[in-house]
Structure 1
Amino acid sequence: MALDLDWVRGAQANTSAIERRAATLPGRRSVKKAFQAAWLLRAITCIDLTTLSGDDTEGRVRRLCAKARQPVRADLLDALGMDAITTGAVCVYHDMIETAVDALRGTGIPVAAVSTGFPAGLSPFPLRLAEIGESVKAGAGEIDIVISRRHVLTGNWTALYDEMRAFRDACGEAHVKAILATGELGTLRNVARASLVCMMAGADFIKTSTGKESVNATLPVSLVMIRAIRDYFDRTGHRVGYKPAGGISKAKDAVLYLALMKDELGDRWLRPDLFRFGASSLLGDIERQLEHHVTGAYSAGYRHALG
């Protein structure tokens, strides 16, 4: 849609109320036993299983893809009465796209690639567009782009919109997730306004962080972004997805985020086409919790290796 500056500039954030709402969530949304197991299984299907390290190898990516294909041990799934499940996607750097596509062939699991000068987003603009094109050509079905934070910090919403529109166009048929790097945007109001601008410019998802900032996904930031998504849906009828990333490593945190999504947006946003976790170690802790539910005992972490 066209950029609506009145809507963007009218977006506000009541920090004290947002923080109070986020602080009360853990005490009000607690699930146990079979219900907890069900929520954790849903969380697995919404994970973008991720490896974004400088020492990534083809072998590591193939092992990660094998885990994405079978994220929970078969004996645990049998005990829970569940059919096979997979993670939502596998997220890698551009150089590993072809390896991941080959390893996931026939599974329907998409490959997501980080792009546009990830994580800083400060490479020349034509190169960022070219990087998107190369990743799509290599087989990535989803592109995680990073916005230029300076546009937000200076209030240059037109520049942010034009940038995001160009990224959207370069992605073609691939889904695009806009990484806001919320830990670097200064205020929750900036987070709300940046969320709206990216959605107006065509983002399929808005995402908190690259995972490389000092502050990544938090409940207050998530609440702001989720309510921006709700506002956008109420006004346009168009659903945009949400992806918290960075710092989510415990099963109990995954349940909190799912509960927040259910409270604010409803059940439709609890599916992988509209909700993802950007995580790697999270899956290991979820699998440990599922084994505890089945056996009554916690296992050693190495029994649920991520490769």
Structure 2
Amino acid sequence: MPFQPMLGGMVATQSDVEPTPFRDLDVTRSDSSLRRFLHGLPGVDQVGAEQRAAALGTRSIKTSAKAFALDLAISMVDLTTLEGQDTPGKVRTLAAKAMRPDPSDATCPATAAVCVYPDMVATAKEALGSSGVKVAAVATAFPSGRAAMDIKLADTRDAVEAGADEIDMVIDRGAFLAGRYLEIYEEIAQVREACRRENGESAHLKVILETGELQTYDNVRRASWLGMLAGGHFIKTSTGKVQPAATLPVTLIMLEAVRDFREATGTMIGVKPAGGIRTAKDAIKFLVTVNEVAGPDWLDPDWFRFGASTLLNDLLMQRMKMKTGRYSGPDYVTVD
């Protein structure tokens, strides 16, 4: 099915261009039309995708490039705490770590964001102040997404009103697997509208696909396109609560989707793998994949994030190893 271009040129930052819903595509707004479009996307070669991801994962990089990659990865982390036992004190501690990951080294970059439940947004916002570190909030009945739409929208509005800069929503995977694509589209579009503030500004919307429940790589590609067509600023692999979470082949497929979407529409969409990325070595594999699949434009916190709670510690220890020539003990970094 042909595209009708939605925007003319490339975009440089998240604030320049808002993702545009698919009303400008040559399809009607119906389940049948969306089905024809999504099932008309090229199928994923499972063996090929896994082999390419494995090959990219073996790439070695020079020492100078590794130092750059470690700092870049730190700047892309959404430092996350999403537990029932979260307290204001824990969130403040996490915010302090996000702003100054290595208190002994002022050259260490801050993380991109702190990700919390909606009831902790105000605490995180106050703690982060004018640091530039964003506050991301999970919403829409995270992690299951099993709630009535009015509850999901209220969840989102509460987080936005409390000051969230970014909303990480979950799609209804049951509806997606049942082929109710228009329902998912409308859900994303309504949540995006709920992200708008009274002053006209909008929190950025990350659409969590929960790829571990989507069953096939073809479904990952379809869900990625659906999230972009409906207006998501980012597409995100996982909640971190379901395994498998952020695998390299799945992320590769999502990177192909955002690359192809920009080529077709001129609109650039971000990607966020989340869950299971724990080591600097793994993070560098993802950055190599970003560069090789989507391109260097995505090597920026505006366009690529890591959703993680423990990754930052290993990045910091590897960074110190490069500076001092030795590994620090586990007490070098704070325990999240």
Same topology, TM > 0.5: yes
Structure 2 equivalent of residue 201 of structure 1: 230
Q: Which amino acid aligns with 2:150?
A: P
Shift of 1:84: 5.1
Structure 2 equivalent of residue 80 of structure 1: none
Structure 1 equivalent of residue 40 of structure 2: 10
Q: Which amino acid aligns with 1:61?
A: V
| 8 A Cα contact 1:2 1:200, kept in partner | yes
- Distance across 1 between alignment mates of 2:213 and 2:184: 15
Coordinate RMSD, CA, aligned? 1.2
**Is 1:55 equivalent to 2:75 in the alignment?**
no
Structure 2 equivalent of residue 31 of structure 1: 61
Q: Which amino acid aligns with 2:313?
A: G
**Is 1:262 equivalent to 2:291 in the alignment?**
yes
Q: Which moved more, 1:294-303 or 1:228-237?
A: 294-303
CA shift in 2, pair 1:73/1:36, >3 Å: farther
Structure 1 equivalent of residue 324 of structure 2: 295
- Distance across 1 between alignment mates of 2:283 and 2:272: 12
Structure 1, unmatched stretches of 5+, are 78-82
1:277 to 298, 306, 310: 306
Runs (4+) off by over 4 Å: none
- Distance across 2 between alignment mates of 1:170 and 1:270: 29
| 8 A Cα contact 1:63 1:306, kept in partner | no
Percent identity of paired positions between Structure 1 and Structure 2: 47
Shift of 1:264: 1.2
Equivalent position SS for 1:255: helix
Structure 2 equivalent of residue 190 of structure 1: 219
Structure 1 equivalent of residue 177 of structure 2: 153
2:270 to 241, 250, 269: 241
Shift of 1:150: 1.2
Equivalent position SS for 1:216: coil
**Is 1:131 equivalent to 2:161 in the alignment?**
no
TM-score (norm 1): 0.95
**Is 1:113 equivalent to 2:137 in the alignment?**
yes
Q: Which has the higher helix share?
A: 1
2:70 to 29, 40, 46: 40
Shift of 1:74: 3.3
Q: Which amino acid aligns with 1:52?
A: L
**Is 1:232 equivalent to 2:256 in the alignment?**
no
Shift of 1:71: 1.3
2:126 to 102, 110, 122: 102
| 8 A Cα contact 2:165 2:204, kept in partner | yes
- Distance across 1 between alignment mates of 2:110 and 2:55: 32
- Distance across 2 between alignment mates of 1:241 and 1:230: 10
Shift of 1:151: 2.0
| 8 A Cα contact 1:71 1:86, kept in partner | yes
TM-score (norm 2): 0.87
Equivalent position SS for 1:242: strand
Equivalent position SS for 1:144: strand
**Is 1:64 equivalent to 2:103 in the alignment?**
no
Shift of 1:101: 0.3
